[in-house]
Amino acid sequence: MAASIRTCYRARSTFNSVHLLKLKLKNDSLRCVPLYVSSKRDLFVASPAQKLNVKNGNIILPFTSQRCTQRSFLTSIRLHTTQEGVKDEAEDDYHSIIKDTERGKGPADVHEFQAETRKLLDIVAKSLYSEKEVFIRELISNSSDAIEKLRYYQLTGAEVGDQVGPLEIHIATNDDKKTFTIQDTGVGLTKEELIDNLGTIARSGSKAFLDQLSEKASAGDVKSNLIGQFGVGFYSTFMVGDKVDVYTKSFKPGSAAYKWSSDGSGKYEITDAEGVDRGTKIVIHLKGDCYQFAKEEVIKEIVKKYSNFVGVPIFLNGKRANIIQALWTMDPKDVTPDMHEEFYRFIGNVYDKPRYHLHYKTDAPLNIRALFYVPEYKPTMFDMSRETEVGVSLYSRKVLILARANHVLPKWLRFVKGVVDSEDIPLNLSRELLQDSALIRKLRQVLTTRLLKFFSEQAKKDPINYMSFYEDYGLFFREGIVTTGEQEVREDIAKLLRFESSKLEKGQFTSLEEYAQRMKAGERNIYFLSAPSRQLAETSPYFEALKKRDIEVLFLYEPYDELVLMNLGQFDRKNLKSIENELYEDKENTDTVDEKDEKSLKQSEAEDLKVWLKSVLLNKVNNIKITKRLESHPCVITVMEMGSARHFLRTTLADKSQDERLRLLQPTLELNPSHPLVVKLFQLKGSDPELATLLAEQLYDNAMINAGLIDDPRLGMSRLQSLLERAFAKI
Ligand SMILES: Nc1ncnc2c1ncn2[C@@H]1O[C@H](COP(=O)(O)OP(=O)(O)OP(=O)(O)O)[C@@H](O)[C@H]1O
Instruction: Determine whether the shortest distance from the Cβ of 205 to ligand 1 is under 6 A.
Output: yes
**Strand, coil or helix: 573:** coil
Q: DSSP secondary-structure letter at 651?
A: T
Sheet bearing 668-671, strands edge to edge: 623-626, 668-671, 635-638
Among 145, 396, 423, the mutation site with the greatest number of ligand 1 atoms within 8 A of its Cβ is: 145
In ligand 1, which atom is closest to the CA atom of 235?
Answer: 18
- Burial environment of residue 94 by CB neighbours within 10 A (0 to 12, 13 to 18, 19 or more): exposed
Which residue, among 701, 624, 635, 702, has the nearest Cα to 672 in the 3D structure? 635
The phi, psi pair for 620, rounded to 5°, reads -70, -25
- Asked if 388 and 415 touch (Cβ cutoff 8 Å), the reply is no
Does residue 250's CB lie within 6 angstroms of at least one atom of ligand 1?
Answer: no
Q: Is the peptide bond before 689 cis (omega within 30 degrees of 0)?
A: no
Q: Are 305 and 271 in contact (CB under 8 A)?
A: no
C-alpha 480 – ligand 1 centre gap (Å): 41
Pairing mode, strands 279-286 and 241-249: antiparallel
Is 231 annotated in some ligand binding site? yes
Ligand 1 centre to CA of 366 (Å) is: 23
Q: How far is the CA of 130 from the centre of ligand 1 (A)?
A: 23
- Find out whether 467 and 498 touch, Cβ atoms under 8 Å: yes
Q: Verify whether ligand 1 is closer than 6 Å to residue 195 (CB atom).
A: no
Residue 361 CA to ligand 1 centre (angstroms): 27
Please state the atom number of ligand 1 nearest to the C-alpha of residue 193.
31
Q: Is 232 in the pocket of ligand 1 (CB under 6 A)?
A: no
CA angle 472, 473, 476 (to 5 degrees): 145
**Looking at ligand 1, which residue's alpha carbon is closest to its atom 31?**
197
Residue 148: CB within 6 Å of ligand 1? no
CA-closest residue to ligand 1 atom 30? 197
Residue nearest to atom 7 of ligand 1 (CA): 142
Dist. CA 344–CA 351, nearest whole Å: 9
Check whether 232 is labelled as a binding-site residue.
Answer: yes
- pLDDT for the residue numbered 14: 40
Angle at which helix 115-126 crosses helix 220-230, to 10 degrees, equals 110
Residue 652 has what pLDDT?
80
pLDDT on residue 347: 76
The C-alpha atoms of residue 44 and residue 317 are separated, in whole angstroms, by 29
The pTM score is: 0.62
Please tell me the distance from the alpha carbon of residue 646 to that of residue 564, in angstroms, as a whole number.
Answer: 14
What distance in angstroms lies between residue 295's CA and the mean position of ligand 1's atoms?
Answer: 25
- What sign does the dihedral 79-81-82-83 (CA atoms) show? negative
Long-range contacts of 724-731 (CB under 8 A, 24+ apart): 726/690, 726/691, 726/694, 727/691
What's the rounded Cα separation, in Å, for the pair 310 and 235? 21
pLDDT at res. 406? 84
pLDDT digits (tens, 9 = 90+) for 490-522: 999 999 999 999 999 999 999 999 999 999 988
pLDDT at 86: 36
The span from the CA of 309 to the CA of 77, in Å, is 24
Question: In 662-699, which positions are buried (b, 16+ CB within 10 angstroms) versus exposed (e)?
Answer: beebebbbbbbbbbebbbebbebbeeeeebbbbbbbbb
Ligand 1 binding pocket includes 454 (Cβ within 6 Å):
no
Q: How far apart are CA 10 and CA 478, in angstroms?
A: 57
Span from the CA of 329 to the centroid of ligand 1 (angstroms): 23
Give the torsion sign (CA, 186, 144, 84, 454).
negative
- Consult the annotation and say whether 230 binds a ligand: yes
Regarding the beta carbon of 189 and ligand 1, being less than 6 Å apart is answered: yes
Q: Is the CB of 185 under 6 A from ligand 1?
A: no
Q: Hey, how many other C-beta atoms are within 10 angstroms of the C-beta on 495?
A: 18
Mutation probe of ligand 1 site: the residue of 203, 276, 312 with most atoms within 8 A of C-beta? 203
What does the DSSP assignment read for 85-113?
A: ---S--TT-------S--EEEEEEEEEEP
pLDDT at site 233:
83
At residue 255, the pLDDT reads 95
8 Å CB contact between 533 and 557: yes
Over 416-458, what HEC string results? CEEEEECCCCCCCCCHHHHHHCHHHHHHHHHHHHHHHHHHHHH
The residues that bridge with 686 in the sheet, in sequence order, are none
Is there an atom of ligand 1 within 6 Å of 150 CB? Answer: no
Residue 667: name the closest of 613, 593, 721 by CA: 613
How far apart are the two ends of the chain, measured CA to CA in Å?
88
Compute the distance from residue 141 Cα to the ligand 1 centre, in Å: 8
Grouped pLDDT means (10 residues each) for the chain, 731 residues: 48 46 54 44 37 55 53 56 38 78 95 87 77 88 86 74 80 96 96 89 63 58 56 86 97 95 93 96 97 96 78 89 82 89 77 91 93 91 79 82 85 95 77 74 95 98 97 96 96 98 96 96 93 92 87 93 95 94 80 90 95 94 92 92 83 81 88 95 94 94 89 83 86 73
